[in-house]
């Protein structure tokens, strides 16, 4: 069987690796002149800027059977990650399967296979393949917000972030960054050092994760298997109300009560934090919370957000402690006005701009609504500012121009991979995780696709896939009301990986790990990274697991104690309540 892989980024490379392992003939078409996808730095191509570092830790970025070197920084520079991908491709004999400078212009069904037309070196070629993996991503047509009234009258600079490689050109200018994702956060932080005035324009708040967490470990290490089984609303409570002494919820009160014996054991290891947790039991508001409806977020309102931030920053902070406290307050305010629960939206994992706002070097401004002529730009709330340059961190349209139906909606795909009636066409690397990283998801999708093509794994009937896709789409729209129309392929990282693992047959079995305590602790209390799916089942690789585990720094005792309460005490209670018919307590997995 001949299989074409479109794209030589992380998704395309891992797809090629698993297809080659199954014995298929593979050809990769890549429109750039180098591998790496968005990680590849090209002055004229969509991708990273000169200063881009990873926002997910290397533990999440690496593939399950190919750990990074121990000496690599937790958040590697893009050049280091491209080097890692190159080593991966070289090790698995993928390099010579790539046709660089090859742009796919048409993909059509032809009999049982697929015709692909592509351009290379000024010539057009056509080839037939038995199967195709589309791994090109959606970064083809930037969202330029051209529909905003008066766009043609704006006389300043307007550029999409994907084409911006450095901010040096904006020195001394008044610049607004539009958007709240990671690119927006990064460019806002960089601009605050060179621009005369920097604004970040937000129609609503965003959830921002700290890059570093407990014990000087990456913040994403906090997402452990022991914790993320919690249903959405309770995971929100654990992540938000349980972390702030001045926030209350029924979950927080019950969590503290039920975990009291373990908290007492934890007292010698983290006395101050533990006492802060236990002291909430003496606060009458904790008991009122048991009988009171809990608002988990405020309105998705950029005007209210900008006013709240302006009020917080009305005075110059006098000490470092005051600045840090204000930064935390800005973070909580951004999340409150996001209009969604903590884990029902994409996370921004570039938090440096929060401090810039707290210091007064960046101003939060509402959403952009129009142009008044010249350089005058109008924002929500009837606010007008003179702006020299607008950087649009607004993402891309969900369009694949080479498809007969170019618009891609993840909600129409079976588990974000298959069109229900097509088992020989897969979309890999399009699912966007709320936390974690894309490479582990793409790798699991690739393992699934390769197994289906090889005949080892079976897909449900077309009718069943269609029905499941419709049910998933309904749930998706319900859980992500503010994002569903623009972002159609968001996934809950942990639940999605575990579901794909159940299809492949590679889920870890904790009972079998009881006599391997180091791996047991890493799987249950360590970062929920891809090595977990090489522990047992199809494709198990004990050597890769041992290396990955040895490279993971030990989890802080405080986290182990807290997550032990969640897993060993709360989970049995939730499972019992679920069996009694209280479905809101149904564990995610």
Q: What is the pLDDT of residues 178-227, one digit of tens each?
A: 999 999 999 999 999 999 999 999 999 999 998 898 888 999 999 999 99
Q: In what order do the strands lie in the sheet with 376-379?
A: 368-373, 376-379, 383-386
Q: Is the pLDDT of residue 49 over 90?
A: no
Structure tokens at 59: 């533990």
Cα–Cα distance for residue pair 101/33, rounded to 1 Å: 5
Structure tokens at 356: 């810039």
Least trusted range by pLDDT, from 38-42, 334-338, 463-467, 495-499: 38-42
Would 2-140+397-504 and 151-209+297-392 be classified into the same CATH topology? yes
Question: Terminal CA-to-CA distance of the chain, rounded, Å?
Answer: 36
Provide the pLDDT for residue 43: 67
Q: Which CATH superfamily is domain 151-209+297-392 in?
A: FAD/NAD(P)-binding domain (3.50.50.60)
Taking residue 314's Cβ as centre, other Cβ atoms within 10 Å add up to 8
8 A C-beta contact, residue 340 and residue 301? no
pTM passes above 0.85: yes
Cα–Cα distance for residue pair 446/21, rounded to 1 Å: 11
Q: Where are the domains of the chain?
A: 2-140+397-504, 151-209+297-392, 241-295+556-585
Taking residue 173's Cβ as centre, other Cβ atoms within 10 Å add up to 18
Provide the pLDDT for residue 42: 79
Provide the pLDDT for residue 481: 87
Residue given tokens 């608002």 in the structure block: 295
Burial (CB < 10 A; 0-12, 13-18, 19+), residue 33, is: exposed
| Fold designation for 2-140+397-504 | FAD/NAD(P)-binding domain (3.50.50)
Provide the pLDDT for residue 44: 67
Cα–Cα distance for residue pair 40/78, rounded to 1 Å: 8
Long-range contacts of 265-269, Cβ-Cβ distance < 8 Å, separation of 24 or more: 265/561, 266/557, 266/558, 266/561, 266/562, 269/557, 269/558, 269/561
The strand pair at 2-6 and 25-29 is best described as parallel
């Amino acid at each position: 069987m001949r299989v074409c892989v479109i794209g030589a980024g992380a998704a395309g490379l891992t797809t090629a690796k698993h297809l080659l392992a199954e014995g298929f003939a593979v050809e990769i078409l890549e429109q750039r002149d180098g591998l790496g996808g968005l990680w590849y730095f090209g002055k004229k191509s969509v991708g990273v800027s000169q200063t881009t570092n990873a926002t997910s830790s290397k533990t999440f970025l690496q593939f399950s059977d190919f750990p990074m070197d121990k000496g690599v920084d937790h958040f590697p520079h893009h050049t280091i990650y491209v080097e890692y991908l190159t080593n991966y491709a070289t090790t698995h004999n993928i390099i010579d399967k790539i046709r660089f400078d090859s742009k796919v212009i048409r993909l059509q069904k032809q009999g049982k296979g697929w015709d692909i037309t592509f351009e290379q070196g000024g010539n057009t070629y056509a080839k037939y393949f038995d199967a195709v993996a589309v791994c090109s991503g959606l970064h083809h047509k930037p969202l330029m917000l051209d529909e905003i009234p008066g766009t043609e009258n704006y006389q300043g600079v307007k550029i999409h972030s994907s084409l911006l490689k450095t901010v040096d050109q904006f020195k001394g200018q008044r610049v607004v960054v539009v958007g709240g994702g990671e690119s927006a956060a990064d460019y806002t932080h960089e601009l605050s050092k060179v621009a005369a005035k920097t604004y970040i324009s937000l129609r609503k708040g965003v959830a921002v994760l700290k890059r570093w967490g407990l014990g000087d470990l990456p913040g994403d290490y906090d997402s452990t298997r022991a914790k993320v089984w919690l249903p959405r609303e309770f995971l929100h409570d654990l992540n938000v109300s349980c972390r702030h002494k001045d926030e209350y919820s029924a979950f927080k009160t019950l969590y503290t009560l039920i975990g009291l014996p373990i908290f007492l054991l934890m007292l010698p290891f983290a006395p101050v934090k533990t006492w802060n947790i236990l002291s909430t039991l003496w606060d009458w508001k904790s008991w009122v919370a048991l009988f009171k409806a809990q608002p988990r977020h405020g309105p998705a309102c950029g005007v209210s957000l900008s006013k709240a931030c302006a009020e917080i920053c009305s005075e110059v902070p006098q000490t470092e402690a005051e600045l840090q406290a204000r930064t935390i307050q800005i973070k909580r305010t951004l999340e409150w006005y996001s209009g969604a629960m903590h884990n029902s939206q994409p996370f921004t994992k570039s938090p440096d701009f929060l401090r810039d706002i707290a210091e007064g070097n960046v101003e939060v401004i509402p959403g952009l609504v129009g142009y008044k002529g010249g350089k005058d730009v109008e924002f929500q709330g009837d606010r007008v500012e003179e702006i020299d340059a607008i950087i649009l961190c607004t993402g891309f349209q969900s369009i694949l121009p080479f498809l007969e139906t170019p618009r891609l909606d993840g909600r129409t795909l079976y588990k974000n991979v298959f069109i229900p009636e097509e088992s020989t066409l897969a979309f890999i690397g399009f699912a966007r995780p709320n936390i974690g990283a894309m490479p582990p998801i793409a790798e699991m999708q690739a393992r699934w696709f390769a197994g289906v093509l090889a005949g080892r794994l079976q897909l449900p009937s077309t009718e069943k896939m269609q029905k499941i896709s419709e049910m998933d789409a309904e749930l998706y729209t319900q859980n992500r009301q503010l994002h569903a129309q623009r972002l159609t392929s968001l996934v809950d990282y942990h639940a999605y990986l575990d579901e794909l693992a159940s299809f492949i047959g590679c889920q870890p079995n904790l009972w079998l790990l009881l006599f391997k305590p180091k791996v047991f602790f890493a799987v249950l209390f360590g970062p929920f990274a891809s090595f977990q799916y090489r522990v047992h089942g199809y494709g198990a690789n004990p050597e890769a697991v041992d290396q990955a585990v040895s490279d993971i720094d030990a989890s802080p005792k405080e986290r182990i104690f807290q997550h032990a309460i969640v897993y060993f005490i709360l989970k049995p209670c939730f499972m019992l309540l679920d069996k009694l018919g209280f479905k809101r307590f149904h564990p995610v997995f």
